[in-house]
Amino acid sequence: MDYNKIYIVIFIVFFTISCDNENYYDIEIIRFEKKFYNSDENELDNLILKYPFLFPSQFSKSIWINKINDSVENDLYNYSLMEFKDYDFNSIKVKSIFNNATNILENFKTPKLITLISKSDFNDRIIYTGPYLFVSLNLYFGSNFYENTPNYLSQKMNKLFIPNDIAFKISEKYVKVKDDRTLLSKIIQYGKILYLNKLLNNEEEDWVIFNTSPNKMKWTNDNEFEIWSYFVENEFFFNTNIDLRSRFISLSPYSKFNLDIDKESPGAIGRWLGYKIVNSYMNNNKASLNELLDLDHYTIFKNSKYKPFK
């Protein structure tokens, strides 16, 4: 056995991994919930001074003291300690997302990541403001914790989805919302978001990116031509009927084609279709990411050359 060759291979692998890791900088993680629920009155004063954006001035200090002593809040806090005991917010996956964002997005600076217990709803379980990125831990306890929440939402309330939710929220911030009532406008808006999402979180599984299940992701890919044809034949793209957004854009257990196969489909399939159109545009045109983000939905649609095979 040639041990020299083995040592060389091990050295190369180790050196490569080390070099890859050296490209990522540690994220500043602030475990705010630990500071808050363990603070006395004096420490609370210091927290209010240090994090004024988490303490709206219209609320008196007594509100925060009551919150610290609230039994339900403390149960959530204690559960978060158990659920996130070994969770690494400085994981390579999260660092990679921030690294990719730094490389491809203008003026992007890695935000401070602040964890907390909040009363946010599902759509705001992560909030990205630019300087800060807030993660509501109590909205990532795993599907079994949320017995009264619809399954299509609770299955995504798992810490597995945190990195991609971060990528999505950053992407959302960089895509302008157009003042246009057509379904196509919303389709392309989310297509841009998901295209950028995949660039930032480029090693993630598609079913995670598109917020569905592996089976429903397969169904969608297998029926790409039929989905496209359905939208074309029903002339949905330039339709301004607001109901189409709830059928094909809003988060839901499935998309509403009003066909027998509806329940086999993922919700918000219009977002996925938008990604396919935007991706086709980028594959067929020499456009930079910044140019894509500035382009109107009609130009992208017209020049995408998107037409799936039967």
Q: Over the stretch 109-119, which tens digit does the pLDDT of each residue have? A: 999 999 999 99
Q: Is the dihedral of CA 227, 230, 232, 236 positive or negative?
A: negative
Taking CB atoms within 8 Å and a gap of at least 24, the contacts of 218-221 are 219/264, 219/265, 219/266, 220/265, 220/266, 220/269, 220/272
169 and 218 fall within a common domain: no
Q: How many domains, in total, are found in the chain?
A: 2
- pLDDT in the model for residue 35: 98
Is residue 3 in some structural domain? no
Please state the rounded mean pLDDT for residues 201-211. 97
- pLDDT in the model for residue 23: 62
Beta strands in the chain (DSSP E): 29-31, 112-116, 126-128, 132-136
Q: Give 211's pLDDT tier (boundaries 50, 70, 90).
A: very high
- pLDDT in the model for residue 13: 42
pLDDT, tens digit (0-9, with 9 covering 90-100), for 227-269? 999 999 999 999 999 999 999 999 999 999 999 999 999 999 9
55 and 160 fall within a common domain: yes
CA angle 101, 125, 84 (to 5 degrees): 90
- pLDDT in the model for residue 267: 98
Is the model's pLDDT at 16 over the cut of 60? no
Q: Which residue has better confidence, 24 or 121?
A: 121
Is residue 267 in some structural domain? yes
How far is it, in rounded angstroms, from Cα 131 to Cα 169? 13
pLDDT, tens digit (0-9, with 9 covering 90-100), for 147-197? 999 999 999 999 999 999 999 999 999 999 988 999 999 999 999 999 999
- pLDDT in the model for residue 178: 84
Q: Give 19's pLDDT tier (boundaries 50, 70, 90).
A: very low
Is the model's pLDDT at 15 over the cut of 90? no
96 and 218 fall within a common domain: no
Is the model's pLDDT at 20 over the cut of 70? no
- pLDDT in the model for residue 26: 85
Structural Rg of the chain based on CA atoms: 22
Is residue 149 in some structural domain? yes
- pLDDT in the model for residue 1: 52
Residue that is last in its domain, among 142, 173, 204: 173
pLDDT, tens digit (0-9, with 9 covering 90-100), for 34-86? 999 999 999 999 999 999 999 999 999 999 999 999 999 999 999 999 999 99
- On whether the CB atoms of residues 65 and 41 are closer than 8 A, the answer is yes
Is the model's pLDDT at 22 over the cut of 60? no
Residue that is last in its domain, among 173, 192, 227: 173
Is residue 308 in some structural domain? no
With a pLDDT cut of 70, the percent of the chain lying above it is 93
- pLDDT in the model for residue 8: 46
- pLDDT in the model for residue 310: 81
Is residue 69 in some structural domain? yes
- pLDDT in the model for residue 17: 41
Is the model's pLDDT at 3 over the cut of 90? no
Full DSSP string of 98-138: HHHHHHHSTT--PPEEEEE-----GGGSEEE-SSEEEEEGG
138 and 224 fall within a common domain: no
Residue numbers of the domain that contains 228? 183-303
84 and 125 fall within a common domain: yes
Fill in the amino acid letter for 134: F
43 and 73 fall within a common domain: yes
- pLDDT in the model for residue 72: 96
45 and 123 fall within a common domain: yes
How far is it, in rounded angstroms, from Cα 20 to Cα 249? 38
When the pLDDT of each residue in the chain is averaged and rounded to a whole number, the result is: 93
Residue that is last in its domain, among 153, 173, 193: 173
Is residue 7 in some structural domain? no
100 and 238 fall within a common domain: no
37 and 62 fall within a common domain: yes
Task: Print burial letters for 262-273: b (CB count within 10 Å at least 16), e (below 16).
Answer: eeebbbbbbbbb
37 and 146 fall within a common domain: yes
Is residue 99 in some structural domain? yes
Is residue 136 in some structural domain? yes
139 and 189 fall within a common domain: no
- On whether the CB atoms of residues 269 and 262 are closer than 8 A, the answer is no
Q: What is the dihedral of CA 63, 69, 70, 74, to 10 degrees?
A: 130
98 and 224 fall within a common domain: no
Please state the rounded mean pLDDT for residues 202-216. 97
